[in-house]
Amino acid sequence: MQGGHGNAGWKRHRWSSVIRYGWVIGKTGFTPVNKSYQLAINVGDLSLSLERFLEEGHAKQTGNKIEINLTLMGYTKLLGDGNVKQPLRVIVAESSERAAEKISKAGGELVLPEPHKTAEASKEG
């Protein structure tokens, strides 16, 4: 006796082999080939970790502002949760509107990369 054909018994009498070998039951769907990940940080977390970034050399004091290059640290986006009390100069690839507003209210600035010019735009200009 086999105990069924195919995947029969996976949730009953073959359960011990599912646990033992780590089989995944019922996993369906499409797995994308090119996964895109964004590593984001909130404005509040940025201000809390400011001392650590200065000690590790990821940030530097320039005048009355602290300059932080988040792209060199691996972050791709700055989000607006939290508060900023010091003027910061933040270099990052993307930012939410709320984060940009909070940084500018604190007297800082947000530096985003310039968008790439297309061939048609350069011919027109």
Contact 91, 70 (CB under 8 A): yes
* Nearest by Cα to 69 from 41, 49, 91: 91
Query: Whole domain around residue 54: which residue ranges?
Result: 40-111
Helix (H, G, I), strand (E, B) or coil at 103: helix
The predicted-structure confidence for 10-58, as pLDDT tens digits, reads as follows 777 878 888 888 877 776 778 778 878 889 999 999 989 999 999 999 9
123: in domain: no
Residue 81, domain CATH: 3.100.10.10
87: in domain: yes
Sort residue 5 into left (φ over 0), alpha (ψ -120 to 50) or beta. Answer: beta
Number of domains in the chain: 1
95: in domain: yes
The predicted-structure confidence for 59-94, as pLDDT tens digits, reads as follows 999 889 999 999 999 999 999 999 999 999 999 999
105: in domain: yes
pLDDT value, residue 123? 60
